[in-house]
Amino acid sequence: MTSELIISLDAMGGDHAPEIVIEGASIARERVPNLQFIIYGDETQIVPLLTRYPILKNCCEVRHTDKTISANEKPSRALRRGRDSSMGQAIQSVKDGQAHAAVLAGNTGAQMALAKFILRTMPGIDRPALASLIPTSRGESVMLDLGANVECDKNNLVQFAIMGAAFARTVLGVIKPTVAILNVGVEELKGSDAIKEADRMLKEVNIAMDYKGFTEGNGIGAGEVDVVVTDGFTGNVAIKTVEGTAKMIASLLKLSLKESLMSKIGALFAGSSLMSLKNHLDPNNHNGAVFMGLNGLVIKSHGGASSEGFASAIGVAIDMAENDLAGKISRDLENLNSSVDGLGVIQAQNDGKVVEMTIKEQK
């Protein structure tokens, strides 16, 4: 780990800001003693909270702004007035090289709009994607896109696969992650034209992933692959279904263990196992979605996350920064474009549009 890792925080975003943000920062600091924070927001609210956590005394710089982005603010309006907000300034600090990553809660649409405008997309990436870890029966998997792009073409899906594989190598430590596209069936003839074309293209590329073809919805929870690729509409529905199901299971299990004296006694004997299950299903322990494909690291926390959840999002930011996620994505894109087979497939499917879009982004 570097001698000093700096994370910028939007203290005013989320359902329980700024209390949860500051408490989450204190938890993260306990885990990573060399962590430093730049905190953006209303100093009249932030400074009194900092006094409650002595561990934050010498590692926080508060930068005051009374401008915030509301939960219901449209992305277009956020772009017009949001550069000076706590959210905008936290992202700008990454652009300026003052922070290694930004962690934000609150309005997802505004976050995406501001992050894309301020940081710009990486060369070779048409659209950023939102990626996160999800609990499965065999551990955790990566899923993207989770809502940044409602409609995606074949090129977007291929790029998501490349970025998701880099995420899995960074966070899960898998050298050659397995990757699949979410579909209504595993047969090659099923799915939209975009999905079928992306499947064909991914079978031809030669980068650090093990492409498995298609997976279905029941394969998500089973952990069939390390990376699940889909469009933002389907991904957002799927991730919220997973989270809702996890909460339902935890709630039903809690009720069932209180039904009788015998069930209560059984719960005492199975206490450690039940706690392990609870921790695995708790969304707060998987909090922290990454805006992939930008020239800088921005991590989204659930707006309703607990302090532990916000600390988990900071932990994701630390992993991304320390393991050079952006560098891994860039190298994979270079390998893709330098591969005669891989480049030929993409150009044949797009009549050169991918190359033209890359050049346009670099100008």
On the 0-12 / 13-18 / 19+ scale of CB atoms within 10 A, 151 is: exposed
Full-model pTM: 0.79
The reported pLDDT for the residue numbered 25 is 94
Give the best-scoring range by mean pLDDT among 59-68, 187-196, 319-328.
59-68
Higher-scoring residue by pLDDT: 1, 315: 315
Q: Give which of 180, 175, 148 is closest to 161, Cα–Cα.
A: 180
The reported pLDDT for the residue numbered 101 is 95
Q: Are 340 and 211 in contact (CB under 8 A)?
A: no
Q: Give which of 26, 60, 17 is closest to 311, Cα–Cα.
A: 26
First vs last Cα of the chain: how many Å apart?
34
The stretch 136-153 carries a mean pLDDT of 88
| Digit-coded pLDDT (tens) for 306-347 | 888 899 999 989 988 887 777 778 777 776 665 534 433 343
The stretch 169-182 carries a mean pLDDT of 90
Higher-scoring residue by pLDDT: 323, 168: 168
| Digit-coded pLDDT (tens) for 197-235 | 999 999 887 778 899 999 999 898 888 999 999 999 999
Q: Express as a percent the part of the chain with pLDDT over 70.
A: 84
| Digit-coded pLDDT (tens) for 2-37 | 468 999 999 998 888 899 999 999 999 999 999 999
Q: What is the DSSP string of 177-244?
A: -EEEEE-S-SSTT-S-HHHHHHHHHHTT--SS-EEEEEE-THHHHHT-SSEEE--HHHHHHHHHHHHH
Domains in the chain and their CATH numbers?
5-120+294-323 (3.40.718.10), 132-282+326-362 (3.40.718.10)
Confidence of residue 361 (pLDDT cuts 50, 70, 90): very low
The reported pLDDT for the residue numbered 182 is 95
pLDDT averaged over every residue in the chain: 83
The reported pLDDT for the residue numbered 42 is 94
CA distances (Å), 55 to each of 21, 27, 32, in order? 14, 9, 11
The reported pLDDT for the residue numbered 183 is 94
| Digit-coded pLDDT (tens) for 87-142 | 999 999 999 999 999 999 988 888 888 999 999 998 888 889 999 888 888 888 99
The reported pLDDT for the residue numbered 355 is 34
